[in-house]
Amino acid sequence: MYTQEMLDSVKKVEATRKERLGMEPRRMTAEEKETLLNRYHPDYRQENFSVLKIGPNKGDKVPDELAVLLQANSRVKDLDIDLTKIDYDTDVLIIGGGGAGASAAIEADEAGAKVMMVTKLRIGDANTMMAEGGIQAADKENDSPAIHYLDALGGGHYANDPKLLHKLVTEGPSAVKWLNDLGVMFDKAADGTMITTHGGGTSRKRMHAAKDYSGAEIMRVLRDEVINRGIPVVDFTSAVELILDEEGRAAGAVLMNMETGEYLVARAKTVIIATGGAGRLHYQGFPTSNHYGATADGLILGYRVGAELVYADTIQYHPTGVAFPEQIFGALVTEKVRSLGAMLVNADGEAFMHPLETRDVCAASIIRECKDRKKGVSTVEGSGVWLDTPMIDMIHGEGTIENRLPGMFRMYEKYDIDMRKIPILVYPTLHYQNGGLKINQEGLTDVENLYAAGEVVGGIHGRNRLMGNSLLDIIVFGRNAGKNAAKKSKTIKPGKLTLSHVEKFAKEMEDAGIKTDCVSPKLLPKYTHRKDE
């Protein structure tokens, strides 16, 4: 499968492997990291950001592609939606069928509220399903929530919201216990000790996993539980606009059937946005590891009703996306591959960095290796560096790859690449939305009765999230939002529904001189190649 040039380079990697096995590359100093990030990380490329002209974040910079959608026309702008004709009536409306949405649904149901989920594709067609590496929680003897706190804070460039971070780390162990008790099969030793590894930027081994299907295992169980509880899930149905009541509180959403295009009205006492990330906006032309529906819809929905965003300018590029073969270009190679000892090696067989630096540093370093130092290996789509996977079985014994990374192994095997024997080529891929809707400890946004949880939220992880802290956050904050939204719903008397904010927003656009044909939320990316388009 590899080209001759690649195979020649593999020889160089093999030649240095033995020597590399015994050594640990130096970690970068704080100054080195800063210089590296400034020069090479895509977040620092100012020419790809625009300043928002309207809305709660007026004056702030966000990626160009997001700016266009945040300042675009509502899908319901010129439609005459009859808000007195209510198709769904519920206490808590949950938008998004990923891990955050499902956790919220279970807790809201547990709290006795009438809950309903709507989701763009099927429940579980979500980034949660794809998480391979694992979930952090400080539950080992040598670890503590305080150490976890410091790791996440340093990794997040000290920009994390301290209260939210406090909640994340102190509720970590109980989140893992909750999942365990629902029947999630974590990797454990025979005596029940959780098998935990490092992730980039962790100072303790606190990454819990379920082989390399961690997210899938969690998602399948949560989905099953949602169904067992009889919580209605309306699939292939997207929220396209929030509905407020006369007092400006969230009171439902306009939905769109993805298959028929029909618009429907859902009324609710409280609403939870759990729509996940934005990888499919392909910021700066990057490929993405995200699922098909990751188009930042929640940010658009929230922004239009006045919810503020935080750190919407910070995106996580996962250092190790697939660079080759092109069929799976951009798909994720889990960080666990590096946790298990595989090194990042350039075309000449040199380990050019410590494999467990934080993700932003790692991504920037790979970009530097390819773009500046010209030590990448060329591929159809550009270039990449080696991730020396054969080291894993050499360190941990034969069978480790098959056992601990079955998904990864299978993915490459389909293209005749045996990652146990030959290294794989990687390049950064657009992976995670660090920023998002601002929430308080209750999970509430700036808008009354509007909650948010999961990747759509910003602040918990500061400017850079550590691996394993997102799966944790969707459980901790998903549950939290579910409980609080349920409790709040009991105090609400539904008012009159309105979409007046849509007009208001259109007026603001006009006043700011924004003219555009673009409608948002985007819902799905467009990959068709029809000649008439």
Ligand X SMILES: Cc1cc2nc3c(=O)[nH]c(=O)nc-3n(C[C@H](O)[C@H](O)[C@H](O)COP(=O)(O)OP(=O)(O)OC[C@H]3O[C@@H](n4cnc5c(N)ncnc54)[C@H](O)[C@@H]3O)c2cc1C
Nearer to another protein, 123 or 272 (CB): 123
Query: Is residue 318 among the annotated active site residues?
Result: yes
Q: Which residues have a Cβ under 8 Å from the Cβ of 210 and sit 6 or more positions away?
A: 134, 184, 185, 186, 187, 216, 217, 218
Position 162 contacts another protein (CB under 8 A)? yes
Place of tokens 């392909």: 282
* Residue 436 interaction partner, one of another protein, ligand X, none, beta carbon < 5-8 Å per kind: none
Stretch 247-276 residues interacting with another protein (CB under 8 A): 258-259
> Of the ranges 10-18, 35-43, 198-206, 478-486, which one interacts with another protein (CB under 8 A)?
198-206
The alpha carbon torsion through 428, 429, 432, 434 (nearest 10 deg) reads 40
Residues binding another protein: what is the number (CB under 8 A)? 87
Helices (H), 199-307: 214-228, 297-304
Q: Which residues are 63's β-sheet partners?
A: 49
What does each C-alpha distance from 251 to 455, 473, 502, 514 come to in angstroms?
Answer: 22, 25, 14, 28
According to the binding rule CB under 8 A, does residue 416 interact with another protein? Answer: no
**Taking CB under 8 A as the criterion, which residues in 324-353 touch another protein?**
326-328, 331-332
Q: Minimum distance between the CB of residue 23 and ligand X, rounded to whole angstroms?
A: 27
> Cα(375)–Cα(511) distance, rounded to whole angstroms?
50
Q: Does 184 sit near another protein (CB under 8 A)?
A: yes
Catalytic residue among 318, 420, 461, 479: 318
Q: Residues 387, 344: contact at Cβ < 8 Å?
A: yes
Strand, helix or coil at 61?
strand
Binding site for ligand X (CB under 6 A): 95-101, 118-121, 125-128, 130-135, 214-215, 238-239, 274-277, 289-291, 293-294, 297, 332, 432, 454-456, 467-471, 474, 521
The question of whether 396 is a catalytic residue gets the answer no
C-beta of 497: minimal distance to another protein in Å? 28
470 binds, among ligand X, another protein, none (CB under 5 to 8 A by kind): ligand X
| Residue 467, contacted partner among ligand X, another protein, none, CB below 5-8 A by kind | ligand X
CB of 248 to another protein, least distance (A): 33
Provide the residue type at 205 as one letter: K
Which among ligand X, another protein, none contacts residue 238 (Cβ within 5 to 8 A by kind)? ligand X
Burial class (CB in 10 A: 0-12, 13-18, 19+), 193: exposed
Structure tokens at 2: 């590899």
* Minimum separation from the CB atom of position 354 to another protein (A): 11
Q: Which does 190 bind (CB under 5 to 8 A by kind): another protein, ligand X, none?
A: another protein
Q: Which residue is nearest to ligand X (CB)?
A: 98
80 binds another protein (CB under 8 A): no
Residue 110: CB minimum distance to another protein, A = 12
The DSSP symbol for 519 reads E
How many Cα neighbours within 13 Å face the side chain of 213?
14
Q: What are phi and psi of 265, to 5 degrees?
A: -110, 125
Q: Identify whether the C-beta of residue 346 lies closer than 8 Å to the C-beta of residue 385.
A: yes
Q: β-strand 424-433 against 250-257: which pairing, if any?
A: unpaired
Site for another protein in 111-130 (CB under 8 A): 121-122, 124-126, 129-130
Active site residues: 318, 338
